Structure 1
Amino acid sequence: MSVDHFTSDHASTWFQRLDQQIFLTDVLSHESGASMSVGFARYGKGEKNPWKMTYDEALVITSGTFTVEGPSGSVTAQAGEVIYLRSGTEVTYVADEDTELVYVTYPHWLEATESSVEAHRLDDFHEA
């Protein structure tokens, strides 16, 4: 049993999507033995990332305004608000302004994506 505390400073590696101002880092991954992932993301204003959910995800907006476009419409959240996404949903993440957020996924987002037909989407990311 343990209690852990994370900040974005705990991140050892950040990943960038293509040449966009989209950066992601896990601070709790499958390597930790936990059943979920936790990480930080930073999106520059206007950046978009199309994605197909292969896991459930909660996005906790810590600064800025962020929209997720989905099949039933768009959901927008500001700092202090949460967006919940269900596995199997096709979405587009959109930064309405410079945004920072915390993501929590179950199961681990990377393992779930790597073992799915959506694995090709990971090719867009490289170490920053």
Structure 2
Amino acid sequence: MPEVTKVTSADALEWYRRDDQDLLLADAIDHRHDAAMTVGFARYGAGESNPWTVSYDEALIVTKGRFSVESGGVVRTAAVGEVIYLRAGTDLVYRAEEESEVVYVSYPHWMPATQASAHAERLAEFAPARPERAG
């Protein structure tokens, strides 16, 4: 991988859908690129949510819409240009207040960290999205 890399959500990425939701994820840079962290994109339809436990530190940068994270009864909502930071071990619910796109940055890599966690079975909720529905 080059020392300087640019990615966009319009790149040819491998998108994954959560169950039958309007919720898509795609890693753009990760351990397969010999990078120290994962950078990816999440697209949520209005009102879509996803309960999760993060096994990694994560920053969420909102690039479209309004996006919330609820944890311990507290809701943090961010708009375009704002960031939500999450610490490893946090039980939460991701939620799109309106149609949203979020850039996520995780350390260590979210996928291997989740695979090694007590929550690994949650990964089965995601399957490759058909190309015509990912864009």
TM-score, normalised on structure 1?
0.97
In structure 1, C-alpha distance between the alignment counterparts of 2:67 and 2:122, rounded to whole Å: 21
Matched with 1:52 is 53
Matched with 1:122 is 123
Structure 2 unaligned regions, length at least 5: 130-135
Give structure 1 regions of 4+ aligned residues with deviation exceeding 3 angstroms.
none
- CA shift, 1:12, in A, is 2.6
Of 5-14 and 42-51, the range deviating more from structure 2:
5-14
Matched with 1:100 is 101
Structure 1 unaligned regions, length at least 5: none
Q: For residues 53-74 of structure 1, what are the alpha-carbon distances to aligned partners after superposition, in whole Å with 9 as ceiling and x for unaligned?
A: 1000000000100110001511
Alignment of 1:4-43 (within 5 A): 4-43=5-44
Q: For residues 72-126 of structure 1, what are the alpha-carbon distances to aligned partners after superposition, in whole Å with 9 as ceiling and x for unaligned?
A: 5110000000000000000000100000010000000000001111101101000
- For 2:61, what is the secondary structure of its paired residue? strand
Q: Which amino acid aligns with 1:22?
A: L
Matched with 2:133 is none
- CA shift, 1:8, in A, is 1.2
RMSD: 1.0
Q: Which amino acid aligns with 1:37?
A: T
1:80 aligned to 2:81? yes
1:23–1:44 distance in 2 versus 1, CA, 3 Å? same
Q: Which amino acid aligns with 1:7?
A: T
Of 5-14 and 61-70, the range deviating more from structure 2:
5-14
Percent identity (aligned): 51
Residues 8, 40 of structure 1: 8 Å contact kept: yes
In structure 2, C-alpha distance between the alignment counterparts of 1:11 and 1:111, rounded to whole Å: 22
Q: Which amino acid aligns with 1:29?
A: D
Corresponding pairs, count: 128
Residues 75, 83 of structure 1: 8 Å contact kept: yes
TM-score, normalised on structure 2?
0.92
